[in-house]
Structure 1
Amino acid sequence: MGHVPHELHEEFPDKTAALHELKTSNGHFARLAEKYHEVNREIHRVETDVTPASDEVLETLKKQRLRLKDEIAAMLAAT
């Protein structure tokens, strides 16, 4: 498996305009996107052995990223 970051614009390639619009107009969405970015980067650092972490920590981070992604997807679907 490649250790490729899951950036929002890659996860939602057909929603790049909506991502930008919501980031600039909706404070809650902007905070969600920022938190997703932080968690996503931490996962990438763990997967590439830049930051050591246990499997349990990595699994927790991945679950957190998925919850954030689900909430972001719901907000995108509502636009």
Structure 2
Amino acid sequence: MSHVPHELAEEFPEQQELIPALIDRDPVFAALVKEYSALNIRVHQSEVHERPMEELAEHQLRKRRMFLKDEIYRRLRTAA
């Protein structure tokens, strides 16, 4: 598989050290990151036609990924 864009380290480069620390100490944050990563891979697979899906399904995954990213960012800001 090619490089998957929208990885959290790329989205929040200034928080690269905080992300693993929060994963270790906050199970809710860890679950958010795990779900975000899984959705991100699935969206990428659809984009590169590795595992195509219907447009509406992909759109719903993108919306969920955006919600997760916003929640992850909110938690990162609170922890920083």
TM-score bracket, shorter-length normalisation: over 0.9
Residue in structure 2 matched with residue 21 of structure 1 by the alignment: 21
| In the alignment, structure 1 residue 47 sits paired with structure 2 residue 24 | no
- Runs of 4 or more, structure 1, over 4 Å off, are none
Q: How far apart are residue 53 of structure 1 and its match?
A: 0.6
In the TM superposition, residue 20 of structure 1 has moved relative to its aligned partner by 1.1
Identity score, percent: 36
For residues 7-36 of structure 1, the C-alpha deviation after alignment (integer angstroms, 9 at most, x for no partner) is 001000000111011011110000000000
Query: Residue 5 and residue 51 in structure 1: after superposition, are their counterparts in 2 closer, same or farther (change >3 A)?
Result: same
Q: Secondary structure at the match of 1:35?
A: helix
Residue 30 (structure 2) aligns with: 30
Alignment partner, residue 11 of structure 1: 11
Which residue in the other structure is 1:68 paired with?
68
Gaps of 5+ in 1: none
Q: Give 2:78's aligned residue.
A: 78
Q: Distance between the aligned counterparts of 1:23 and 1:62, measured in 2?
A: 23
TM-score relative to the length of structure 1: 0.93
Q: TM-score scaled by structure 2?
A: 0.92
Shift of 1:54: 1.1
